[in-house]
């Protein structure tokens, strides 16, 4: 566990240059869709892609907003063509990519592909270093709308002569220039850089989303660690630029039902891209129900507020504590329709989670708030001054939407919900 003093963290963040998001006309909101890697790794082909797209339609996932189907690594032949072009694997994609993307588009989906900023992809296929312009053109010619761009097999320093930022900027420039010359929308550009070079600081000037941490695993330890990391950088996510917490593992591995809910809730409310990594043909109705929570997805896709929720109190740890096993528990943020709260039980046993409403900066003192539970889909009365979520299961979550419901009841005592330095008009303590 790592402890940070609040003043130290404030000093660090004060020195961070605020970069405006890449407003290039695409990816204003976090992407919703499917990515092949977690379910299939290299075992992909055109039949799997089309079957997955069909399942997304039949299971109702497209209806709730999932509109991307993205290939990951291993789609190519090992070597480029004699003309220096990338080539789809002829056994796995015998019909070619123009046919595949046309079918996806006809089904109402956007199509995504994978590339790498180095000599090779992470699985050893041809990378795009020094081929950025021709590869961007190729991806567009094939009909793709989205590019996930990885960071393996980095050229030696005396060849690249630039840092990670510059290496990713090369493809960003190629995409921007291609859009200018063709008049078509630029590819959505997703940086898969793992966060080792503080990509969350500069990513918004280069791409539409950026990976903040290592590859996710289908267990609670991995999910908790990623939530912990993102708790310190939520300010870098907004319209057109999103902290990418990696592919959704909902329904995979040994995750419990409550852990799946917490995983999905955190990714959605923290405005990460939501790319399903589950084999949909084997997904249970409970998993599809989690992925289809319209009220949670509405926060992810809020057209008025693009910012992530942020912690207002860490909970079992002192504020500004970095703890990969026990991340912040109390989160909130604004939305078009009210203040969103996420209460996360990071303990291995059930717990009550209590907070004073005005601990959230988005809540006004002296007001009462209607309470909407975004998982039970019920209106649960009115909260005055504080709220307690009782018996939240281990690794479970409560997601709430609080709406202003007018002045709190008259003559409520004490006169301040937070007693510290509360004073009457004449400056005296109300109890004196």
Instruction: Retrieve residue 22's tokens.
Output: 């890449």
Q: Is 421 a catalytic residue?
A: no
- From the candidates 116, 150, 230, 244, which is the catalytic residue? 150
Rounded Cα distance, 329 and 313, in Å: 7
**Residue 150 designated active-site:** yes
The SS3 assignment for 156 reads coil
Residue 39 structure tokens: 């379910």
- The contacts found for 10-19 with CB under 8 angstroms, 24 or more apart, are 13/235, 16/201, 17/201, 19/201, 19/202, 19/204, 19/205
The region, left, alpha or beta by phi > 0 then psi within -120 to 50, assigned to residue 246 is: left
Q: Where are the alpha helices (DSSP H) in 154-304?
A: 157-160, 164-182, 199-202, 220-230, 257-269, 285-291, 294-300
Residues 162 and 173: their CA atoms lie apart, in Å, by 15
Q: E strands, 77-120, where?
A: 110-116
Q: Distance between CA atoms of 395 and 325, rounded to whole angstroms?
A: 11
Asked if the peptide bond before residue 138 counts as cis, ω within 30 degrees of 0, the response is no
Among 45, 173, 215, 373, the one annotated catalytic: 215
Q: How many CB atoms lie within 10 A of CB 299?
A: 25
Active site residues: 150, 215
């Amino acid at each position: 566990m790592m402890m940070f003093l609040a003043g130290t963290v404030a000093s660090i963040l004060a020195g961070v240059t605020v970069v405006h998001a890449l407003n290039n006309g695409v990816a204003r909101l976090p992407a919703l869709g499917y990515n092949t890697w977690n379910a299939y790794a290299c075992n992909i082909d055109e039949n799997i892609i089309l079957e997955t797209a069909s399942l997304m339609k039949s299971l109702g996932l497209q209806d709730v907003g999932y509109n991307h189907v993205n290939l990951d690594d291993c789609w190519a032949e090992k070597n480029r063509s004699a003309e220096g072009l990338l080539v789809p694997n002829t056994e796995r994609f015998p019909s070619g990519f123009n046919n595949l993307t046309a079918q996806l588009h006809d089904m109402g989906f956007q199509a995504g592909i994978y590339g790498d900023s180095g000599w090779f992809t992470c699985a050893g296929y041809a990378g795009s270093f020094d081929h950025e312009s021709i590869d961007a053109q190729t991806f567009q010619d094939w009909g793709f709308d989205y590019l996930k761009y990885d960071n393996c097999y980095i050229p030696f320093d005396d060849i690249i002569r630039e840092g990670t930022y510059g290496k990713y900027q090369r493809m960003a420039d190629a995409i921007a220039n291609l859009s200018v010359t063709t008049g078509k929308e630029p590819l959505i550009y997703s940086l898969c850089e793992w966060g080792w070079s503080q990509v969350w600081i500069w990513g918004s000037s280069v791409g539409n989303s950026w990976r903040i941490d290592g590859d996710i695993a289908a267990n609670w330890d991995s999910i908790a660690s990623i939530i912990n990391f993102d708790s310190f950088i939520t300010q870098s996510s907004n319209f057109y630029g999103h902290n990418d917490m990696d592919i959704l593992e909902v329904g995979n591995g040994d995750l419990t039902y409550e852990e799946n809910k917490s995983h999905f809730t955190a990714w959605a409310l923290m405005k990460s891209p939501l790319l399903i990594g589950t084999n949909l043909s084997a997904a249970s109705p409970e998993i599809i129900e989690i992925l289809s929570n319209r009220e949670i997805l509405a926060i992810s896709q809020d057209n008025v507020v693009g910012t992530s929720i942020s912690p207002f109190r860490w909970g079992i740890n002192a504020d500004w504590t970095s703890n990969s096993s026990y991340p912040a528990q109390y989160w909130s943020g604004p939305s078009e329709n009210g203040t969103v709260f996420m209460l996360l039980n990071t303990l291995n046993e059930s717990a009550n989670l209590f907070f004073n409403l005005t601990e959230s900066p988005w809540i006004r003192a002296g007001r009462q708030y209607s309470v909407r539970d975004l998982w039970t889909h019920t209106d649960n009365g009115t909260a005055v001054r504080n709220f307690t979520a009782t018996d939240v299961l281990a690794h479970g979550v409560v997601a709430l939407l609080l709406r202003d419901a007018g002045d709190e009841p008259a003559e409520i005592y004490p006169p301040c919900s937070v007693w510290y330095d509360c004073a009457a008009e004449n400056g005296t303590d109300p109890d004196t």
